[in-house]
Chains A and B, each alone.
Chain A
Amino acid sequence: MFIEAKNINKVYFDKNNKPITVLDNINLSIPKGQFISILGPSGCGKSTFLSMIAGLTNSTSGEIIVNGKKVVKPGKDRGMVFQQAALFPWMNVTENVIFPLRKEISKSEGLKRAQHFLKMVQLSNYPTHYPHELSGGMQQRVSIARSLAMDPAVLLMDEPFGALDEQTRSRLHRQLEEIWIDTRKTIVFVTHSISESIKLSDRIIVMGTRPGTILTDITVDIPRPREQHRQQIGALEEQIMALLKTEIDKVIEEEQSYEADS
C-alpha cells in the first residue's frame, strides 16, 4: 500500500489532566493514485489524522508509512493545502509557488515550473500579483499550485474549500478533479461536507467522534463527471447522512451535558 496507517492512537490531557482520546486505533491503507475523502463531524480527529500524515502532529502510538518510509517529520513528498491559503504575503504569486523549490532548481527553471502549475489552476495571468490582491478562491488555487509544484507523492487537503462561497467552491471542485485526472496524484481530502466528498472522491472514510474512529469505508463508483448522476449521488448522500446522524446527536448530547455541568 502506498499510505499505510497502523493502529494510530492519539490521546491528550485536558486542563484537569483528564485523558481525552482523539483517535482510537485507526487503521487505513490507501493505494497509489486514489482520491480518498475523510469525512466526519467536527471533533472527530480527521484533521489531526491528516496532520499526522503530513508529519506536523505526532501520534501517541502507531505509525504511518508513506511510500515505504515511516513519517517522522514534514517533508516535500507530502504537499499540504490548508483551509486558509497560507500564502506568504511578502511574496508575489510566482515567488510563493517557487518557495518550496528555491534551493533545488535555477531561477529560470523555477519560473517555468511556476508558470506551468499556475496555468493548471488557471492563474497564469497573475504571476506578479501579491496575495492581498487576490480573492479567497484565487489564493487557494495558488496554494494548490504551490503544493503541486514541489511534485509531492501525495496531496493532503484539509477542508481546502471550507472558507469559500458556494459558486467558487463548485468551480474549484471541477478544477481539482481535472488536476487529479491529469496528474494522478494520491489525494487525501478532509471535509465535513457529504456532497463534496461524493462529488470528488473514489472512496470515503466516514469517521465517528469521541473518540475518533473509522465508521465505514465506502467505495464511490459513480462515473465521472458526477453531476450527471444525481440519483446515485442522492442515494449515497442519504446513506451517509443516516450514518452520521447518530454521531452528530452524540456531539450535541455531550455539549448539552457539558453545559448542564458548568
Chain B
Amino acid sequence: MKPTVKRLIFFAALIVIWELGSRFELWHETILPSPFSVYNSLLAGFSDMTLVYDLVASFRRLLIGLAAAILIGTSVGILLARSKTADDTLGTLVLALQSVPSIVWLPLAMMWFGLGEGSIIFVVILGGTFVMILNVRTGIKNVDPLFIKAARTMGSNGMDLFIKVIIPASVPYFVTGARLAWAFAWRALMAGELLSSGPGLGYTLRYASDFGNMSLVIGVMIIIGVVGAIVDLMIFQRIEKNVLKRWGLET
C-alpha cells in the first residue's frame, strides 16, 4: 500500500473515532468539540476571509523573520567557522542563547519594539537564527579535507577555495539549517502571536479561546499543524533529499 493511502486511512479513522466519541457524548462539546463543529468554524472563518487574512499576516512575519534568520545565521556561522577567537567567545554565547526559547525574549522585545509587528518578527528571527548559525558553522568545519587538498593541488586557495569549494561542500548543512530554522521560527511565530495583537493565526487562536470558541481553537491548531507539515514535507524535505543525493551523502 502506498504511504499516501495509508495516511489517508489513518486520518479518516482518527476523525471517525473522534466523531463517534462526540456522538456518544464520551466528552462534552465544550471540552472537545466534534469534527463537524470544527469544520463549520473553519468554513465560516475561510468564507468571511478572517482566516485568510490571518494566514497572510502570519506568513508575512514568518517570511521576513526567516529570511533575516537565514541571512544572519549564515554570516555569523561563517564567522564562527573561520575565526577561532570568534568561536571561543561568540560561539559559546550562541550555544547558550540557543537553549533559551525565543519566546522568553518577548517581554524585552515589547519594550524595544512596541506591541506590534516588530516584536513578533524579532522573536521569529531569534527562533531561527541560532540553529542556522550552528549548522553553517558545523558544515564549514566539516568539509572533507580531501576536497580542500584536491582543490589546492589544482591551484585554488584563499578566497577562491572558500567560495568555490568550501561553501558548496557545506550546502547540505545549510539546507538542514534552513529547515530547522523554519521549524523553530514557525513555533516562535505562533507563540509570539498568541501573546500580542492581530491579525495572525496565533492571535485568532487566543481570541477564540477568550470567547470560549473551542471549535475555532482546534480549527486554528489544525491549520498550524497542516501548514507546518506541508512546508516541511513539500519544500524542505524535498530540497534536503535532492541535495543529499547529489552530494552523495544519502545512505
Binding site for B on A (CB under 8 A): 54-56, 73-76, 78-80, 82, 84, 86, 88-90, 99-100, 130-132, 146, 150
Q: Indicate with 1 or 0, residue by residue over B216-251, a CB within 8 angstroms of chain A CB atoms.
A: 000000000000000000000000000001111000
CB distance from B247 to the nearest CB of A (A): 5
Known A-B contacts A86-B146, A88-B168, A90-B171; the reply to A131 vs B153 at CB < 8 A is no
Q: Considering the chains assembled together, what is the distance between the CA atoms of A131 and B147 in angstroms?
A: 13
Q: Considering the chains assembled together, what is the distance between the CA atoms of A89 and B246 in angstroms?
A: 6
CB distance from A2 to the nearest CB of B (A): 18
- Chain A residues within 8 Å of B82, by CB: none
CB distance from B105 to the nearest CB of A (A): 37
Residues B149 and A86 in contact, CB atoms below 8 Å apart: yes
Beyond A76-B155, A90-B168: 14 further Cβ-contacts under 8 Å? A56-B153, A73-B157, A74-B155, A79-B153, A80-B150, A82-B150, A88-B147, A89-B247, A89-B248, A90-B169, A99-B164, A100-B156, A150-B154, A150-B155
Q: Considering the chains assembled together, what is the distance between the CA atoms of A72 and B152 in angstroms?
A: 13
Q: Considering the chains assembled together, what is the distance between the CA atoms of A54 and B247 in angstroms?
A: 27
Q: Is there a chain A Cβ closer than 8 Å to B110's Cβ?
A: no
A-B contact count (CB 8 A): 59
Specify the chain B residue showing the minimal Cβ separation from A79: B153
CB distance from A98 to the nearest CB of B (A): 10
- Chain A residues within 8 Å of B153, by CB: 54-56, 74-76, 78-80
A contact face: mostly helix, strand, loop, or mixed: loop
CB distance from B189 to the nearest CB of A (A): 32
Residues A86 and B246 in contact, CB atoms below 8 Å apart: no
Which of the residues B152, B164, B247, B248 comes within 8 Å of A56, measured between beta carbons? Answer: B152
Q: Indicate with 1 or 0, residue by residue over B121-158, a CB within 8 angstroms of chain A CB atoms.
A: 00000000000000000000000001101111111110
- Chain B residues within 8 Å of A89, by CB: 246-248
B146, B147, B155, B164 pick with most chain A CB within 10 angstroms: B155
Q: Considering the chains assembled together, what is the distance between the CA atoms of A37 and B146 in angstroms?
A: 22
Q: Is there a chain A Cβ closer than 8 Å to B194's Cβ?
A: no
Known A-B contacts A75-B155, A99-B154; the reply to A90 vs B146 at CB < 8 A is no
- Chain A residues within 8 Å of B150, by CB: 80, 82, 86
Q: Is there a chain A Cβ closer than 8 Å to B165's Cβ?
A: yes
Q: Considering the chains assembled together, what is the distance between the CA atoms of A150 and B156 in angstroms?
A: 13
Instruction: Sample 17 A-B pairs with CB under 8 A, ordered by A number.
Output: A55-B152, A55-B153, A73-B152, A73-B157, A74-B153, A75-B153, A82-B146, A82-B149, A86-B149, A89-B246, A89-B248, A99-B154, A100-B155, A100-B156, A132-B247, A132-B248, A150-B155
